[in-house]
Structure 1
Amino acid sequence: MQICKDGEQIIIQKSNTTMIMEFILLGFSDIPHLRWMLFGIFLFLYLTIVMCNSIIILITQTDSFLQTPMYFFLSNFSFVEICYVTVTIPRMLMDLCTQNGNISLYACAMQMCFVLLFGGTESLLLTVMAYDRYVAICNPLQYPVVMSHKVCMQLLATSWVAAVQAATGLTYLIFSLTFCGSNRINHFFCDIPPLLQLTYGDTSVNNIAIYILSIVFSMVPFLLISASYGKIISNILKLSSASGRAKAFSTCSSHLTVVVLFYGTASITYLQPRSNQSEETGKLLSLFYTILIPTLNPIIYTLRNKDITMALRKLLTKLLT
């Protein structure tokens, strides 16, 4: 039996099994004078994300013009976005309010699992949405058959099942490690990089698994999306009608913008070697992909999509009359 004492907590290890029962999320405790300002900003952003994505779900479900595969996937993407930010931001707001970042081992594992689950699902949904645009623009005559309701449901189910398997497997790998020494996580949620810094012993297998899953859920989807959009742009440029080209570009540009933002920050965070990334840099990048990008996504989709804008106007007109 080995006893490691760190500050307020005693960590007992028997054999290779960790008995640590609690972590401390440091979050933004290094800038306590800004905590109420940060609380207000993050609360505003969270409410904005939930409200905007809820509106997208509402109008895609109620407007008959938007009953297409493209908006079916957009509606599901908005639902996943709401779940994704709800896993992290309310907990961060509570920690800012109470200045108590204590989180149990099991709560930390659950939070990590759900972050990976919803993040992985988003990644695969973005790939499916790119495939939908590819079929719609490059094979419009086959679109109703290729993207039938049954196929859409199968693609959606596959995205969820694959993400569930990856999230649970990776969470198990991380929390099967031995934690000894400090129990303080210099982050605002239980993310993989800061947790691995607290582990004891050989983590080479875990690092390999993280890189493999990062490639599967970031690089591979990004390459597939890039290939799809390469074909899409090639076909758009062949259109004789200038208005047709403008409409096609308008439809795809919002999705492409979201793709670049999402995969850019995710790749930097999970594919970059830990030794090359400071804790503060990792925390800043996490703010981008957990808060800023989910805030921008519904704005990008609503402002750059004429169908969504028109449906929103019709909804507002109904509510005001």
Structure 2
Amino acid sequence: MLVHPEVAEALAAHRPVVALESTIISHGLPRPDNLRIAREIEDAVRQEGAVPATIAIVDGQARIGLDDDALARVAGATGAGEVDKVSVRDVAVVAARGGVGATTVASTAHLAARAGIRVFATGGLGGVHREARDTWDESADLTTLSRTAVLVVCAGVKSILDVGATLERLETLNVGVLGYRTERFPGFYLRDSGHPIGWQVDTPADVAAVLRAQDDLGTGGYGLVLANPIAAADELDRDLHDRTLNAGLAAAQAAGVRGKDVTPFLLEFFHRETHGASLAANVALVVANARLAAAVASHYAASHDAASHAPDAAAG
């Protein structure tokens, strides 16, 4: 791995760092807006006092933090060739071939944890697909979080998924779910997916306290999801959402779209059929998640400093 000097310096000094995925740049947002939006997401982290670490595979090397040239390559702005969508199982193949790959939630979480980054911001978590009873189609995000010590700040899971089944799988896998100022699990474009959350936290300091308790109690080997609902002003109209989702699912089935190709297909369908409203919602929620993640990372870093300077109770 190659850790960007700014990120390495922050980690060494126990200053706040937020990991960011790159699949949203390469596959989740339309060109050429994707590069501008990627910079906006990084700026949102900086404005809250943390260092952004966008993660990707560039020329076969796992990069923890990208310079502007690398960010442009992942965004496809340089015309240098195909950017692969890379989950954990794909990382070694793309690296060995010297390729360029955009990391998913799963692979971003994996690489962030290896670099020592505890907080990660994204748009929506992957999950169990609607036809999983027949297809066994489930995102690697879930199993990766079951063994990866990161906090993922997200707007719930994308509404194209089976939300109830996803929450059940997270419970089985010992991945905790916290609702940020809500007891309802968000549904990406929508503030409420129709499912409850067992735990609510109201401040970034509350979330940092949970992370610190995980460290102290030895449960930090499991991931943690912080579900941050999209702001009411940015939420997609529910009727428009439901009509577009039903039409998109039918279109994907008719086109024979399966597996990992379903999500980008439906995101593009939403963008086209809602005349950009879904894209505006997507950008708003990702930026909000980046800001919240930076605030949590700052409190977590401060708690580390406080713990390191506390007197040893045993010695007293």
TM-score, reference length from structure 1: 0.30
Give the strand-richer structure, 1 or 2: 2
**Which one scores higher on RCO, CA 8 angstroms, separation ≥ 6?**
1
Q: Which structure has the larger Rg over C-alpha atoms?
A: 1
